[in-house]
Amino acid sequence: MRRFFTLILLFILGSNLSFAQDNYTDHTIQKGENVYKISRQYGVSVNAIFELNPGSEDVIYAGSTLRIPNSSNTSTPTYNTVINDDNISNYVVKSGETKSGLSRRFGVSINLLEQQNPHIIAMLQAGHILNVDKTIKENPRTAKKGEHYVVKGETLWGIARNNGISLAQLEAANYGRLSEFLQIGQTLIIPTKDSESSTDEGYLVQRGDTKFQLAKHFNMTIAELEEKNPHTVPMLMAGHRLNVDNSDVNNSEEIPNTNEVAITKVDSINTTNGYKNYVIEPKETLFGLAKKAGMTIEDFTNLNPKLLTSVNNGDIIKMPINPSQTIATTDAVDTVDTVDTVDTVDTVDTNTKNATTKIHSNKNEALFTNLVTETSTGLYFYSPFSSEELGSSEERQKMISINADFQKYIDFFQGAQVAIDSAKALNLDFDVTLIKKNIAKSKITIDSPHSKNAILVPFIDNKSNFPSIESNTPIAIIDIESNLVSKDSINVYRSIPSDTIQKTKTLNYLAKQNANVIVISDLNNARNKGLILNAIPDAKFLKVDNAGFFKSDALNNELSTDKLNYIVFDSEKTIVLLNTTTALMGKLSDHNIQLVMLESSLLPKQSEVSDMRFRILQLIFPAITNPQNKEDITAFEIKYEDEFSSKPSQNAILGFNVTFDILLRISQNSSFEDIINTTLSEQPHLKFDYQKTTDRNYSNTGIYLMQYNSNEGMIELINGN
């Protein structure tokens, strides 16, 4: 037994000795590497490398050796954080925290926080260590040249206007400082009017800048740019300060020819299809590029799908070699708007229905053509979040832990952010404001400096709690699944087509086809019987049992042998759908049958019912989103995933489509109501065709009427009209 314990003791001692000898690995630094990259390679923290290699936090050199701690023996460094009435010591900044939030938490001003922690002035980052001594007197801050010291009552819009720059330029120059409300005492960077941001402190990254473009501009490789600016390795962001001193860069080093291609105005010419590569210049817009190409915006975005999401300075796109020739040889797309009468739902009075017409343009041609960029507009969001809560991941998580339903608001605002970025790429000028939902307030007064404004109201759970709105300038209320009704003299625009609109438009289509209509339900009275009979008075109704089986010969007695038979399925039960479709497929040899659903929500998951049944029965169904618009949808999804590292949810899709459409509509040279009454639009997922329902209320009636087709997969039936 004694020998056994001796062996165990020797094993433990030997193990400890082995750990002591092998607790780090030597790494030879390669050109272009930085500490962040190396830490990711070995799966250890940056601070752990700094602790083993004093001085590496300042600079590292290619060819030198770094000691890398073994990941199994490293842990997150611990700091003796102390927070009391007079001192904050060794506080580690967490992801999502902001200067404003920390200043309130510690009971100090942002000025004092920055004064004692100058490393956070340019940008607060997770992992920064903060120390504050409250007994030290705060020095009054005076704005230097190119800066602005915020005082009470100022707004971003006012500061931008007073300095002769756009709001977008001001926001880009202060990207890391504007995660929430403007703070008194905050220092803002004021860029020059042309946004040229190279200073003694380095270059300030602007929206649309890329690493490749900046590396070429400052005569260095991307690796060298990242080595000098390790904070840009995970992602280059507007507002980053860059060290662009290339005095120590080997300027004689050849840059690969693949990089050379992108710096010329015309990079290469594809003689087989008549297009050349073109680099987008600063301040160019989609409308201007399409005009330069001699193409309609629709044709130009079909050629360059990524432009549907945003127009980015430095991006490479396709441009016709000979614009005039393109116009002559392209399949003719008539750019003159054609007028067509649109069917409306039953709630629209007859006079309005007969009088209302819409411009059927090539997607958004009418909106893009008349964009006004010289004047700014106001965009408001009514939300359960304040700007601070929405801008802090910690606060968002706290809200979700209280109510999981808040996640849909976060998704919506993330989609809206992509829309806001896309609108700014079109040079639209607007202010964005969050109004925090508060049921104690019965009235909200909006004092806007803009001549046109819109307030977006997503997902209100109790419309009776929505306050009345009073505004000094015209404002429109945009309802997103909130079911609001106008209380005041302000128009309410319901942006998502209701279930009733889906059903009515589908039934209107069936009524025009001179077919035999049979409604299948598992209830004594079909759920939509009144609506169906109103559109198709001679419709027949059949009831199946709970398993979806017909009574003997009941189906045969109602089917027509000499007319098309529309079978309208009106049940929510999957088993009923399976057995009903099986019975219908058995009748196809003697009858012309097509299946119809009045609501897209009745479509089961593909894991439950194969869409092969729908192809065979050529299912017709209404859809709010267009499943065929794959290029536009893909462009949006790529942009969203780049921004938020996740796929967009349905609520994020709503946030993008509704926000972008409203920004286009309020940025026109006509009144918002005129644009609503005269212009159709179509975003990547949603169609917007507003119809007046009552004096102050409008509904979007834009749906897609789709049909499964055995040959083509899926087709759209006459735009759902």
Picking from 18, 86, 22, 74, the residue whose alpha carbon sits closest to that of residue 44 is 74
For position 175, what pLDDT does the model report? 59
Three-state DSSP class for residue 41: helix
Query: pLDDT value at position 454?
Result: 95
Phi-psi label, residue 309: left if phi above 0, alpha if psi -120 to 50, beta otherwise: alpha
Distance (Å, whole) CA 474 – CA 137: 48
CA–CA separation, 438 and 252 (whole Å): 63
Widest CA span of the chain, in angstroms?
A: 104
Question: Three-class SS string for 606-625?
Answer: CCCCCHHHHHHCCCEEEECE
Lowest-confidence segment of 16-30, 585-599, 600-614, 642-656 by average pLDDT? 16-30
pLDDT tens digits, one per residue of 13-66: 333 433 334 578 888 888 767 776 787 677 777 777 877 887 776 677 777 888
Contact between 391 and 432 (Cβ < 8 Å): no
Query: How far from chain centre, in Å, is Cα 350?
Result: 39
Confirm if 503 and 526 have CB atoms less than 8 A apart. no
Rounded to whole angstroms, the Cα distance separating 255 from 564 reads 68
| Structural contact between residues 536 and 507, judged by C-beta atoms closer than 8 angstroms | yes
Dist CA 197 CA 200 (whole Å): 10
Question: Is-contact 396 384, C-beta < 8 A?
Answer: no
The answer to whether 102 and 65 are in contact (CB under 8 A) is: no
Burial of 679 (0-12, 13-18, 19+ CB in 10 A): buried
114 sits in which H/E element: helix 110-116
What is the pLDDT, as a whole number, of residue 608?
74
pLDDT at 565: 95
Q: Exposed, middle or buried, 474 (CB in 10 Å: 0-12/13-18/19+)? A: middle
Indicate whether 469 pLDDT > 80.
yes
Q: What is the rounded average pLDDT of the residues 115-135?
A: 80
What pairing do the DSSP bridges indicate for beta strands 713-716 and 704-709?
A: antiparallel
Query: Within a 13 Å sphere around the CA of 198, how many CA atoms are in the beta-carbon half?
Result: 6
Greater pLDDT, 101 or 249: 101
Select from 386, 268, 368 the least CA-distant residue to 667: 368
Give the pLDDT of residue 656: 95
Percent above pLDDT 70 for the chain: 76
Cα(51)–Cα(66) distance, integer angstroms: 11
Q: Where are the strands (E) in 556-616, listed by range? A: 565-569, 593-597
Instruction: Sort 402 into a burial class: Cβ within 10 Å, 0-12 / 13-18 / 19+.
Output: exposed
In this prediction, residues 96-124 reach a mean pLDDT of 79
CA-to-CA dists, residue 150 to 110, 147, 180, 392, angstroms: 11, 10, 14, 22
For each of the domains in the chain, give its residue range(s) and CATH number, in order of start: 22-78 (3.10.350.10), 82-133 (3.10.350.10), 264-333 (3.10.350.10), 364-496+630-688 (3.40.50.2300), 499-623+708-714 (3.40.50)
Mean pLDDT of all residues belonging to the chain = 76
- Provide the 10 A C-beta neighbour count for residue 16: 10
Nearest to 394 by CA among 26, 44, 98: 98
Lowest mean pLDDT among 176-185, 245-254, 419-428: 245-254
Q: How confident is the model at residue 74 (pLDDT cuts 50, 70, 90)?
A: low
Residue 445 pairs with which residues in a beta bridge?
470
Give which of 385, 424, 315 is closest to 660, Cα–Cα: 424
Kindly state the tokens that stand for 328.
């002559």
Residue 252: predicted pLDDT: 35
Rg (CA), the chain: 31
Tokens describing residue 565: 């038979």
Per-residue pLDDT at 253: 36
